[in-house]
């Protein structure tokens, strides 16, 4: 669990994402979200009665770091395979799956926060899970707090392999070149070389 917390902190550095919310936004909140889109245009908030997650449009994310942008794109491209491979019975997913989710926190200068979530199951048109680390800005930020989210809020994923290392963690991989040893080496040792299992392709 400590490793997940460390990785969650690293992944959150400098990253920004859009998300779905269920309550109406103020004009100021809409402006903040509008700046996050990587294509100009109005902010389209996904309503609570939106289409099922598989049919929801992906909300684009943007970072000032090109490597992070590539990580978001790769994670979203492989997300359907990760979800399909880890879904079990009755809407539950394997305990080895963790998702990196963008949530609206409405903190000064910080409209969005990324949090790692595990213990995941389908919940209506979205998902429900528990916080796998302590959030900085989320109101109820205690470890294991339940959290609901939609598919477009998912920015990254991780699945633990049989040998204890991890697939996914695209955002963590993007940060590795900026980290010093011994932390960088410790994190590399936790990651499978290829972020997506060959069987999923």
The pTM for the full model equals: 0.72
**What pLDDT is attached to residue 92?**
95
Q: Of residues 12 and 102, which shows the higher confidence score?
A: 102
Structural domain count, the chain: 1
Classify residue 88 by burial, with Cβ atoms within 10 Å: 0-12, 13-18, 19+. Answer: exposed
Q: Does residue 111 come out as left (phi exceeding 0), alpha (psi in the -120 to 50 range) or beta?
A: alpha
Residue 82, pLDDT > 90, answer yes
130-142 pLDDT tens trace: 988 877 777 777 7
Range of the domain at 37: 2-200
Residue 112, pLDDT > 80, answer no
Strand pairing class (166-168; 126-131): unpaired
10-36 pLDDT tens trace: 443 333 333 333 345 566 655 554 454
Q: Answer whether 101's CB lies under 8 Å from 53's CB.
A: no
């Amino acid at each position: 669990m400590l490793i997940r917390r460390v990785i969650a902190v690293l992944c959150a550095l400098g990253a920004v994402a859009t998300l779905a919310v269920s309550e109406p936004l103020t004009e100021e909140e809409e402006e903040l979200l509008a700046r996050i889109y990587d294509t100009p245009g109005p902010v389209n908030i996904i309503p609570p009665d939106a289409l099922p997650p598989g049919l929801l449009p992906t909300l684009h994310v943007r970072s000032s770091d090109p490597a992070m942008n590539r990580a978001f794109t790769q994670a979203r491209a492989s997300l359907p395979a990760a979800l399909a491979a880890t879904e079990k019975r009755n809407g539950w997913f394997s305990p080895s799956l963790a998702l990196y989710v963008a949530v609206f926190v409405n903190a000064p200068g910080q409209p969005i926060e990324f949090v790692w979530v595990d213990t995941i199951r389908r919940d209506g048109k979205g998902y429900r899970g528990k916080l796998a680390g302590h959030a900085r800005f989320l109101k109820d930020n205690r470890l294991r707090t339940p959290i609901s989210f939609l598919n477009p809020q998912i920015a990254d994923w991780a699945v633990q392999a049989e040998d204890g290392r991890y697939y996914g963690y695209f955002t963590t991989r993007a940060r590795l070149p900026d980290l010093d040893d011994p932390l960088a080496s410790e994190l590399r040792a936790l990651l499978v070389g290829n972020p997506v299992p060959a069987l999923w392709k």
